[in-house]
Amino acid sequence: MPAVLPDDIAWWPTTKQAAAIRAREFSAQDLLALYIARIERLNPMINAVVTLDLDRAARDATVVDERISRGETVGPLSGIPMTIKDAIAVGGVRSTGGAVELRDHVPGEDAPAVASLRAAGAVIVGKTNVPRWCNAETETHNELFGTTNNPWDRGRSVGGSSGGSAAAVAAGLSSCDLGTDIGGSVRIPSHYCGTYALKPSFGVVPQLGYLSHVGAGRVGADMNVFGPIARSARDLALLLGVLAAPAPEDALAWRVTLPAPRRSRLAEYRIGTWFDEPELPVAAAYRAVLERAAEALRAAGARVDASHPNVSFAKQRDLWMALAGSAASPSLPAEIQQAASGTHMQWLRNHERREELRDAWRAWFGEYDALLCPVVLGVAPYHDLEGDPFTRTVDVDGVARNIMMDVPQWTGIINVIGYPACAVPIGRTDEGLPVGMQIVTSYLRDRESIELARHMDQTVACFEPPPL
């Protein structure tokens, strides 16, 4: 029988849990039993985990324990129980994309990224909730599984589309999770739930197996990435090391070798901030926490000033929206697919505009190591499932802001250029709700974003368990 572990171990960082399993402080089966018990007890109120695969999870945990007992080398995720966003194919497990059309869909094999996690020793416990096809919704809600609640306040949203992922990790129902992000979908839920997330550089993690429409999974989508959600920056580094890889058909000749961080001390960093955008200001309470985080970095020795790439926020946002409409069009209703996708010539022209923007960002990153900016406009909003999601609003200091069109703009402008960005918790507002910050670094400098997040663990804030 597995040993009964104390609940606080469920919130340990993945890196600490894996080290404890390898050191035989407790077994992979013990840790799996802890998370299963928590899912049984807490998931009914959070509704983050929607499908379980416990028989295989138990077998996989047993194999890890047996290998350790024989003194064999195990992978970096040795026996870690984790979940996978329900928009990602997991072999032998119901994988729906949140859509009734796939209610009985069971893929024959894992998505390549999931296969990498298994090869590293991860124990896949189940799937986490998503909006239908991961778009056209402001909440993690669908007809199959209902609504996911925020573990900090169950009356509030977790955003989307990796909302079940962030809620499960924050609530201690999973050690970590693999989500997807085309416009903020790992970063926004992490901001609302107080977790860490990485949107990797575009193309660094294979995105085959992404279930965005019936028949999907064989090709990737423009701007979309698979990214981890966790409870510490070190966990993001561990998971990125496992996930970064070429697609299987390219592995014969291609490798993904991300460079190590160039800075070792905060005093070596030059950091810009972009907290203000006149037509899209963030809530004053959130703005105050952003400023406190920047000041804490200054006090720790970093050079921080209000500077950002010489680009128009509005033009970059509009380009993201145009390209996102094209990328997401296969999952939209048939009557608007053509209007949303545009022509191939339009896409080519937009791609040229994207390269012009990337030139400006590259030039700015020639002088700066990182850019700090908001994730969204404020704290997690209250649930709102009424009417058309494109007409829903949230109050930001007395101004009604459209949840679908306004809220994801700060994250979307990073997706369109394909640069890496971490979302990290930076504290709580006076309401007691967590908020986060984006750390953007230059293309393929993913490890530098994570390294700065690690420094912020020690100087700004870190993960806090919600008051379940």
Q: Where are the chain's structural domains?
A: 7-250, 266-442
Q: Is-contact 393 403, C-beta < 8 A? A: yes
Q: Each residue of 379-396: pLDDT tens digit?
A: 999 999 998 888 999 999
- Check pLDDT > 70 for residue 136: no
- β-pairing, 434-440 vs 81-85, is unpaired
As given in the structure block, the two tokens for residue 273 are 């901030």
Burial 174-186 (b: 16+ CB within 10 A, else e): bbbbbbbbbbbbb
Q: How far apart are CA 108 and CA 114, in angstroms?
A: 13
pLDDT, position 276: 94
- Structural element, H or E, at residue 395: strand 393-396
- Check pLDDT > 90 for residue 434: yes
Percent of the chain with pLDDT over 70: 100
pLDDT, position 388: 85
Measure CA of the first residue to CA of the last residue in the chain; give whole Å: 28
Q: Each residue of 68-100: pLDDT tens digit?
A: 999 999 999 999 999 999 999 999 999 999 999
pLDDT, position 424: 98
As given in the structure block, the two tokens for residue 190 are 């992490």
Contacting residues for 446 by C-beta, under 8 A, at least 6 apart: 198, 200, 201, 204, 240, 244, 258, 420
Q: How many CA atoms lie within 13 A of 441 on its CB side?
A: 25
The domain made up of 266-442 has a fold known as Amidase signature (AS) enzymes (3.90.1300)
pLDDT, position 377: 98
- Of 133-147, 198-212, 331-345, 444-458, the one with minimum mean pLDDT is 331-345
Q: How far apart are CA 260 and CA 445, in angstroms?
A: 8
Q: For domain 7-250, give the CATH number.
A: 3.90.1300.10
Burial 294-308 (b: 16+ CB within 10 A, else e): bebbeebebebeeeb
Mean pLDDT of 328-346: 83
Helix/strand/coil percentages in the chain, nearest 5 = 40, 15, 45
Mean pLDDT in the chain? 96
Q: Which segments within 335-430 are labelled E, that is strand?
A: 370-373, 393-396, 399-402, 421-428
For tokens 């899209």, the residue is 280
Q: How far apart are CA 125 and CA 70, in angstroms?
A: 25
Q: Each residue of 17-34: pLDDT tens digit?
A: 999 999 999 999 999 999
- Check pLDDT > 70 for residue 455: yes
Say whether 266-442 and 7-250 share the same fold.
yes
Active site residues per annotation = 85, 161, 185
DSSP state at residue 88: B
